[in-house]
Amino acid sequence: MAPPVADIDVQTAPVVVPVPTKGSIAPGHSSASRLSGPLTYSGTLDTYEHFDVTNIIGREFPNLQLSEIQHDDDKIRDLAILVSQRGVVFFRNQDLSIDDQKLLGQRLGELTGKPETSKLHKHALANSKRGIAVDENGKLDDEVSVISSEQNRKYYADRYGYTAKRLASEGWHADITFEHIPSDYAILKIVQPPEDVGGDTLWASGYEVYDRLSPALQELAESLTATHHQPNFVRVKETFGAELIDQFRGAPENNGLDFKAEHPVVRTNPVTGWKSLFGAGHQVHAGWINGVTERESEILKAYFYQLISENHDLQVRFRWNKNDLAIWDNRSVFHTATYDYIGKRQGNRVVSLGEKPYFDPNSKSRREALGLLKDGDEDERL
């Protein structure tokens, strides 16, 4: 964890990528991060009770109400930095309204250098057109992705049903990477946990996945891009007649119904300056690794996925109670839900859009940045 020393530099200038690569973006691009370098946690949240859930990923604040700090920019900035460092941060029994949840989602990114053109995401499918209210007053809102078990079972019965025969580990993903400008932070508040039991969510550290690649594979992955593709929305549109949002889904670049975007396989998180495996998981299941053969693409995708799904020590599992809330950084973690319940489950997810993904060859791995690499470690990686 970074030392409690303030070192915050949010400027109008974009990230400078000294050596152009396939995954980099040109300085001055309107979709670039406004940070000139990584941010350092200043310690404003240390007085609140907290604990790390695992060594690698996850932190919980069991008593902090986010509504108490939502207008304190220093604390919100520190919260964003903590989320980016720890991957996901948990809060219990939150009284945050949906409007405050939206404001928080936008401020997390704004205070850590997101482009001015990046707003809250409007999900193509999980939006107000499904007619599901996001609060007790019946409010419908396109900037809130309603996570509904009933909708999932309707549109994806083979995967979301309690008696599904598919492997439960098939769902690992980061949010909306099929967009040209994908997410930085996401906030999920479970407003209705299952009436029975279950419905946990798991997160996995993309930082640690990168660190478990051999140096040779790290170098290869850093040189590659991947095409992320989500064909299911169009299938749902054609099968069920569901209307989709096809214009300005939170950023001017996020348009159309192809739901396909090219991103670097290894992504630099501008808030931490750390490398994370990004071109992996379910978001490239229907996509591919660019510049290699089809067979090579499938082999790389399968191995990257195996590292995410089969290494339980880089994962954290969270059991939801009513009104619990999680914030995670989609640039550096993967997550998946557990469909082991029969009853109804619903949550409100606010997804902030960040910068156009890039890879900075001068960035560090998490282990390197925290001084966790030792001589010979690279020989023991899986």
For residue 180, what are the CA distances in angstroms to 154, 175, 212?
A: 28, 12, 28
Segment 107-160, tens digit of pLDDT: 999 999 999 999 999 999 988 888 888 888 888 999 999 888 877 677 766 666
Q: How many contiguous H segments (helices) and E segments (strands) does the chain have?
A: 10, 15
* Domain-located, residue 271: yes
Total domain count, the chain:
1
CA 260 from chain center: how many Å? 17
**Count of other CB atoms within 10 angstroms of residue 7:** 12
Flag whether 107 is in a domain: yes
Query: Which among 107, 119, 89 has a CA at the least distance from the CA of 10?
Result: 107
Q: How far apart are CA 75 and CA 70, in angstroms?
A: 8
| Residue 282 belongs to some domain of the structure | yes
| Separation CA 79–CA 213 (nearest Å) | 29
Encode pLDDT of 167-186 as tens digits: 888 889 999 999 999 999 99
Q: Which of residues 28 and 160 earns the better pLDDT score?
A: 160
Whether 333 maps to a domain, the answer reads yes
Which of the four pLDDT bands, split at 50, 70 and 90, describes residue 14? Answer: very low
Query: Is the residue at 19 inside a domain?
Result: no
- 3-class DSSP assignment, residue 101: helix
Compute the mean pLDDT over every residue in the chain, rounded to the nearest whole number.
89
Q: Residue 348 domain-assigned?
A: yes
Range of the domain at 249: 51-380
Q: What is the pLDDT of residue 375?
A: 56
Answer yes or no: pTM beyond 0.75: yes
What CATH number corresponds to the domain at position 258?
Answer: 3.60.130.10
Task: Identify residue 211 by its one-letter amino acid code.
Answer: D
Flag whether 21 is in a domain: no
Within-domain flag for 1: no
- Among the residue ranges 40-44, 169-173, 266-270, the one predicted with the least confidence is 169-173
| Residue that wins the pLDDT comparison between 221 and 378 | 221
